[in-house]
Structure 1
């Protein structure tokens, strides 16, 4: 799986730890603020003036608060408007809305697999929908569940990079470990990843998990399942994959962990 590991050098660029968990994302978030990626997020202006006028620590807190607020709206399937975000989250820092909103949207898409789409430009109203229209989060049964389409889209993309669209299990875990997603290690967003990949998404039809014949010891591999073929196109998934590889994904889980904690406290 050489293609999977190709971006690893960029993903493993050093991230300075500055104390608390949220401080670990300051450097990466600051780089994004100074040089935002060309994305499909609803707001993408030049942010240099905003980034210089407010400490990065404060921007990170605002982004985490907005992510938590967007997650709440996603669970309740409610639309959201700019005025609501300004009043409920930004408060006295409303001048920094373009930067904070853009980064929160990027976090929602890359980590949680949730797109923030504008539906009324005049009223600045948005809806939150799963990336690529996947329905694996159609029902979030308990109040603590986190959206997981982001990891699913990434995994579907990794499978497409393999010969014959078949990904050996051991190489999948090598690729995901770069993002801090490891088998049998509880993840703050995705839960127990191995159970999610080999049981939940297999039962839901998004993945096929099969034993490689004539192997001793036993080896397994992942393929797209019938539901993935029905809901997503290979081209759409491959278009999404490079966006994940251009960022240091270790920054976002720390940011989102803070947002999730805030959300749970407010529940």
Structure 2
């Protein structure tokens, strides 16, 4: 290998390592405002592209793709501000074109789709394009205990109308031998996992109930859960566990049907 090729390879590896480090160490939900990025016109994007080589655009697209995939390993929401700040930098004018190419590659190669869950702050999550995530309560005791725990919480919230007081969740988990104030073998700090990690990942929302004394908190489904999970499959699994017909939960069945219909409409 020539000295020039070795140098190029070393630079590429260094860039890859830098992106990995940035994506892993970056604070997920920082309170920083979005990087100032005025949406350029189509002609401005084309002018910027014309000043770049195909190789430059392809390299930047690959860097953004890698950054997104690394963030998704920990189910971190992906902010436009972070992509611009840490990856695109002086290429920010072609942000829309890069993201379009990234999304196409995600679909064709990985079977995934980049979905914007927060239009105000331009925050995205990756979801399985082929089928909804398959959560299984048996995961609590097999390969993915955190996923199983999350399923139980989401199921309780859904079956109880979409909003559940914190005390109900802790009491329910106590029956499963998972205590809020104790360190669990699989989950570690249970309260931190649920109120911080699952919230950062946008599976849950955790908010104070107004005008309560003593102070109370409540849980709702987060934006990622709404986009990524099938309420119908969840209801069917709960029904199977309870040995009941899914139609016996009239309200939940209607909500699940509406969610399925909405999902099919947006995917067409």
- With normalisation by structure 2, the TM-score equals 0.36
- TM-score normalised according to structure 1 size: 0.37
Higher Rg = 2
- Relative contact order (alpha carbons < 8 A, sep ≥ 6): 1 or 2 greater? 1
